[in-house]
Amino acid sequence: MDASFLDLLMAQQEEVTEAEGGGGIWVVADVVNGAVAPVTLEAIGAARNLAGSLGAYVYAVLLGDGVSGLAPTLYQAGADGVRVADDPSLATFAVEPYLEVLSDLFQAEQPEVIIFGATPQGQALAPRIAQRMGGGLLEHVVAMTLDEATRTVQASVPIYGGEYYEIMACPQARPQVLAVEPGAFPAPFMDPYRKGEPKSVEVKPAEPRVRVLGPAEEFTPPAVPLSQAPVVVAAGRQAGDFSLVEQLAARLGGRVAGDRGARDAGWISPEQIVDIRGVTVAPQVYVAVGIRGDTFHNAAVENAHFILAIHPDPTAPIFQVADLCIEADPKEVLPALIAALEQ
């Protein structure tokens, strides 16, 4: 069969007919630096799993200025329908304008489940949407299942930084509003043949109650929690020169961490230990420097998107979970890696 004909046939088969409103599972997109945030794609993947059991459509909502061109990404991730509120008044996130658009939309559509990312934007909007609509709120969700008999989402929520987890649900309140943690759910398969035609949402003028006057003087914002850091550089006993680990983290714009061996060496504090008994991480990039990788450590990094491991022992267990393995002394590798990043 001719390849071009096959491509055309697949494209026709994957064309998405815009789903009509009413009920369904809705994902509110986060837009960061002109692109759909990874947590939004992860949320759409989680929504698709729920939708299969509920027999429901998955919708995505885009808000911002000049964001219409991002709609194809949401269709490719699995959305059946996309609503776009594209207006200059939404260029910078503010609670009131975003809340008014979403409130009007959801009051009209009456969704069954609404999913936000557990980001600053999502955590500002999710409780307000739940309160306005009389729904139930589940925050910091890291896993979810469905009670099909009652159509109730059962969410796993970490307690005390992940020391243990509780299962929470809203059996009667509707809609069910969830805020999912970045990195908690796998990214969906992006189907380039999946297409659809988004619908525009009316944007009514709303005055923000908070105005941004400028950066605060003599103020250093708190660091991103280790569990949410997009880049983590962790040291183990074989790291050798810990200052090189700190330099690499600085070059990558990441957080410094380590295993229990690094804590015993006095290099890191207890809250920096990557371990299922310490902190579980899911960064975009995880660099393990001199970490042998015991069971507790490797389980704590299994959701990292890319793992680079540097260790002199070819039998180190960390190599079994790493995406890229460098069998060498970290003291020889790190200076060259830091020098390359400085160019």
Q: 277: pLDDT confidence band, cut at 50, 70 and 90? A: confident
Question: Is the pLDDT score of 13 beyond 70?
Answer: no
pLDDT class of 163 with cuts at 50, 70, 90: confident
**Residue 15 pLDDT:** 58
Tokens describing residue 235 = 């040291």
9-200: CATH topology:
Rossmann fold (3.40.50)
What pLDDT is recorded for position 77? 95
Q: Are 236 and 262 in contact (CB under 8 A)?
A: yes
Could you report the per-residue pLDDT of 42-83, keeping only the tens digit for each?
999 999 999 988 889 999 999 999 999 999 999 999 999 999
Angle at 191 between CA 185 and CA 194, to 5 degrees: 120
Mean pLDDT of the chain: 89
First and final C-alpha spacing in the chain: 49
Residue ranges of domains in the chain = 9-200, 226-342
Digit-coded pLDDT (tens) for 165-204: 899 999 988 999 999 999 889 999 999 999 999 999 888 7
- CB pairs under 8 A, 24+ apart, for 314-323? 316/291, 316/292, 317/292, 317/293, 318/288, 318/291, 318/292, 318/293, 319/293, 320/293, 321/293, 322/288
Q: For residue 161, name the pLDDT band (cuts at 50, 70, 90).
A: low
Q: Inform me whether the pLDDT recorded for 334 exceeds 80.
A: yes
This prediction has a pTM of 0.65
Percent of the chain with pLDDT over 70: 93
CA 91 – CA 29 distance, rounded (Å): 14
Residue 208 reports pLDDT greater than 80: no
Q: How confident is the model at residue 8 (pLDDT cuts 50, 70, 90)?
A: very low
Q: Do domains 9-200 and 226-342 have the same CATH topology?
A: yes
Rounded Cα gap, residues 183 and 115, in angstroms: 15
Class at the top of the CATH hierarchy for domain 226-342? alpha beta
pLDDT at 1: 44
